[in-house]
Structure 1
Amino acid sequence: MIAQLRICVPEKLSDAVMDCSTGELGVAEVSRQPGASVLPPGDVIDVLLARESVERLIEKLQALKVQEQGSISVSMPELVLSDRADKATVDAPGEGADAVIWDEVSRQTGEDSRLTWSYLAFLILATQLAAIGIVTNSTIAIVGAMAVGPEFGPLAALAVALVRRQWQLGRSAALALGVGFPVAMLAAAFTAWLSVPLGLFPADVLERGSAVEFIYHPGPYSLIVAVLAGTAGMLSVISRRSAALVGVFISVTTVPAAGFVAVALVLGEYQKAVGSALQLGLNLVGIVVAAVAVLIFYRLVTKRLPRGEDLRLRRKALGSSGS
Structure 2
Amino acid sequence: MRFIKANFPADKADAVIKIIEGCKPVDWSMDSGYGRYEKAVEIVVAKGEGQDLVDRLQSLLGGGDDWRVVVMPIEATLPRPDDTILEADKEATQKAKTVSLREELYQKVAGDCTLNTDFIILTVLSAIVAAIGLNGDSVAIVIAAMVIAPLLGPILAFALAAALGDLSLMKKATKTSLTGLVVGFAFAYALSFVMPVNIGSTEMVSRTVIGPEIIALALASGAAAALSLSTGISSALVGVMVAVALLPPSVASALFLGAGETDKAIGAALLLAVNVVCAVLSAQLIFVWKGIRPRTWAGQRKASVSVRINATVWIILLAALAALAYRLNLQVL
TM over 0.5: yes
Deviations 1:98-129 (A, max 9, x none): 42311111111111111111111111111111
Q: Which moved more, 1:155-164 or 1:96-105?
A: 96-105
Q: Report the CA distance between 1:150 and its aligned residue.
A: 0.9
Q: Does 1:236 align with 2:232?
A: no
Question: CA 1:250 to 1:294, structure 2 compared with 1: closer, same or farther past 3 Å?
Answer: closer
1:123 corresponds in structure 2 to 123
Q: Does 1:77 align with 2:69?
A: no
Q: Does 1:227 align with 2:224?
A: no
2:253 corresponds in structure 1 to 261
2:304 corresponds in structure 1 to none
Distance 1:156 1:51 in 2: 23
Q: Report the CA distance between 1:58 and its aligned residue.
A: 0.7
Contact 2:186 2:254 in 1 (8 A): yes
Question: CA 1:136 to 1:62, structure 2 compared with 1: closer, same or farther past 3 Å?
Answer: same
Q: Does 1:61 align with 2:53?
A: no
Q: Report the CA distance between 1:170 and its aligned residue.
A: 0.6
Q: Report the CA distance between 1:90 and its aligned residue.
A: 5.0
Q: Report the CA distance between 1:96 and its aligned residue.
A: 3.3
Q: Does 1:10 align with 2:1?
A: no
Q: Report the CA distance between 1:168 and its aligned residue.
A: 0.8
Distance 2:52 2:108 in 1: 19
1:249 aligned residue (225, 240, 253): 240
Q: Does 1:146 align with 2:153?
A: no
Match of 1:150, SS state, is coil
1:321 corresponds in structure 2 to none
Q: Report the CA distance between 1:248 and its aligned residue.
A: 4.5
Q: Does 1:52 align with 2:45?
A: no
State the aligned residue count: 289
TM-score (norm 1): 0.83
Q: Which amino acid aligns with 1:210?
A: T
1:30 corresponds in structure 2 to 28
1:318 corresponds in structure 2 to none
Contact 1:133 1:140 in 2 (8 A): yes
Distance 1:149 1:78 in 2: 29
Deviations 1:189-209 (A, max 9, x none): 1122123xxxxx3x5x20x21
1:310 corresponds in structure 2 to none
Distance 1:113 1:164 in 2: 16
1:311 corresponds in structure 2 to none
Contact 1:49 1:85 in 2 (8 A): no
Deviations 1:146-204 (A, max 9, x none): 11111111000000000001111111100001112111211121122123xxxxx3x5x
Residue segments in structure 2 that go unaligned for 5+ positions in a row: 296-333
Distance 2:219 2:180 in 1: 22
Match of 1:299, SS state, is coil
Q: Which amino acid aligns with 1:31?
A: S
1:308 corresponds in structure 2 to none
1:95 aligned residue (76, 92, 95): 92
Q: Which amino acid aligns with 1:266?
A: G
Question: CA 1:93 to 1:209, structure 2 compared with 1: closer, same or farther past 3 Å?
Answer: closer
Residue segments in structure 1 that go unaligned for 5+ positions in a row: 196-200, 304-323
Q: Report the CA distance between 1:38 and its aligned residue.
A: 1.5
Distance 2:135 2:89 in 1: 55
Q: Which amino acid aligns with 1:166?
A: D
Distance 1:300 1:116 in 2: 28
Percent identity, aligned pairs only, is 21
Question: CA 1:279 to 1:110, structure 2 compared with 1: closer, same or farther past 3 Å?
Answer: same
Q: Which moved more, 1:62-71 or 1:222-231?
A: 62-71
Contact 1:143 1:250 in 2 (8 A): no
Q: Report the CA distance between 1:80 and its aligned residue.
A: 2.0
Q: Which moved more, 1:61-70 or 1:116-125?
A: 61-70
Q: CA RMSD in A?
A: 2.3
Alignment map for 1:287-298 (pairs within 5 Å): 287-298=279-290
Distance 1:221 1:157 in 2: 25
Deviations 1:228-277 (A, max 9, x none): 111111111112222x5424414633111111111111100111111110
Q: Which amino acid aligns with 2:2?
A: A
2:114 corresponds in structure 1 to 114
Q: Which protein has the larger Cα radius of gyration, Structure 1 or Structure 2?
A: 1
Q: Which amino acid aligns with 2:181?
A: F
Distance 1:92 1:175 in 2: 39
